[in-house]
Amino acid sequence: MATATEAEAMRRAIALAARALGATSPNPVVGCVLLDPAGRVLGEGFHQRAGQAHAEVNALRDAAARGHAVRGATAVVTLEPCNHTGRTGPCAQALIEAGIARVVYAVADPDPTATGGAATLAAAGVATEGGLLAEEAAEGNAAWLFSVTRGRPQVRWKYAATLDGRSAAADGSSRWITSAASRADVHRLRAEADAVVVGSGTLHADDPQLAVRGIEGAVQPLRVVLDTRATIRPDARVLDDAAPTLVVTGPDADTRHLPGTEVLRLPTRDGRVGIPELLAALYERGVRSVLLEGGPVLAGAFLAAGAVDRVTGYLAPALLGAGPAALAGAGIGSIGEALRLDITEVTRIGPDLRLTAIPKSQ
């Protein structure tokens, strides 16, 4: 059984891991805390970027830098230590060589190339225990765990609407439905995502920049524009150099007006770029989490494709009584077909409400 001190260390490891959310893909976020037998912290670390040291190695280095010996210590890690030589060496081996006596981890590693660390540790005589605070740790790594088992990124659909569910006024004006506080919160969502996706409708209506602003150290997400016929203007703000951009078109779009822009051509379904093809291509590029930012028709297409995995809604205390809904054209005709969700979070953001929901089917 894990001790209360180990549980506290796991909470700390989960918090450390969360610092790198949005920066590690295609890798998970991972945190590690080393404890001596009396429960004192010897060192801690987290995984910062793919290709750089894993959390366990950073924690061992931290302990060394603090002048602490780790022989006989306990490693508390949010993910089962890896067993493979990938971009870096196997952490199970590094822990064994350091003389770690016990490893407590939260979530088993489902990555087939890395799995098996707990068995390697046990074979070397290290006591191992999995499952401590597994739910919390898994939530912190939700996109990675989701995508590694499905081969596509996890999609969070974000929308803003009035209390009567309108995302734009009848004249089409849609800017500033929600408060500045909510808009700042969206930048945090962008920073946590690997890619931000919009359709050409939103592009032409709002000319959004879609970059992260106001968050120090944030890794910019890949800006993805779904634009089957390449209608984007070369001076669109989303093509500025604040972040990388990918324009996704149908197979035979004319893109001669977009020199220097990265274009990805994908097959269409019913005349629009296919959502499953898009998600497979993004996964291939290392994208593990997508923030779907608009608009209602594109969101409807994602819903119809079964590709809305998380919902974050910003509800402004305003009524319009007319104007487009946040979501359209999902092919749902009766109440029985509704996508049922569980609300997992309700927070006041300035004058607005932020809701987070997860489909019941997950």
Residue 53 sits in the site that holds Zn ion (CB under 5 A) = no
Residue 79 sits in the site that holds ligand AOF (CB under 6 A) = yes
Residue 88 sits in the site that holds ligand AOF (CB under 6 A) = yes
- Nearer to ligand AOF by Cβ, of 98 and 316: the residue is 98
- Nearer to ligand AOF by Cβ, of 55 and 281: the residue is 55
Interacting positions 197-236 with ligand AOF (CB under 6 A)? none
Residue 121 sits in the site that holds ligand AOF (CB under 6 A) = no
Q: Out of 20, 27, 45, 54, name the contact with Zn ion by CB under 5 A.
A: 54
Q: How many residues bind ligand AOF (CB under 6 A)?
A: 17
Residue 54 sits in the site that holds ligand AOF (CB under 6 A) = yes
> Which of Zn ion, ligand AOF, none binds 323 (CB below 5-8 Å, type-dependent)?
none
Contact stretch for ligand AOF (CB under 6 A) within 48-56, 155-163, 211-219, 328-336: 48-56
How far is C-alpha 28 from the geometric centre of its chain's CA atoms? Answer: 10
Query: Which residue carries 């981890």 as its tokens?
Result: 105
Strands (E), the chain: 31-35, 41-46, 74-79, 102-107, 127-129, 154-162, 195-199, 222-226, 245-249, 262-265, 268-269, 272-273, 289-294, 310-316, 341-349, 352-359
Residue 32 sits in the site that holds Zn ion (CB under 5 A) = no
Are the C-beta atoms of 356 and 188 separated by less than 8 Å? no
Q: What's phi and psi for 194, nearest 5 deg?
A: -85, -30
Cβ 52 to ligand AOF shortest distance, Å: 8
Residue 120 sits in the site that holds ligand AOF (CB under 6 A) = no
Strand-pair category, 310-316 with 352-359: antiparallel
Q: Out of 6, 62, 111, 192, name the contact with ligand AOF by CB under 6 A.
A: 111
Cβ 94 to ligand AOF shortest distance, Å: 10
Q: Nearest-CA neighbor of 93 among 78, 114, 65?
A: 114
Residue 86 sits in the site that holds ligand AOF (CB under 6 A) = yes
Cβ 101 to ligand AOF shortest distance, Å: 19
Q: In which region does residue 51 sit, left (phi positive, over 0), alpha (psi from -120 to 50) or beta (all else)?
A: left
Burial of 37 (0-12, 13-18, 19+ CB in 10 A): exposed
Q: Out of 2, 16, 60, 91, name the contact with ligand AOF by CB under 6 A.
A: 91
Residue 17 sits in the site that holds Zn ion (CB under 5 A) = no
> Which of ligand AOF, Zn ion, none binds 186 (CB below 5-8 Å, type-dependent)?
none
Q: Token pair of 270, please?
A: 């019913």
- What is the pattern of x (binds Zn ion, CB under 5 A) and - over residues 80-119? --x--------x----------------------------
Amino acid (1-letter code) at residue 46: F
Cis (ω within 30 of 0) for the bond into 295?
yes
Q: Which residues carry out catalysis? A: 56
Are the C-beta atoms of 221 and 291 separated by less than 8 Å? yes
> Cα–Cα distance between 35 and 58 in angstroms, integer?
14
Residue numbers at the binding site for Zn ion (CB under 5 A) = 54, 82, 91
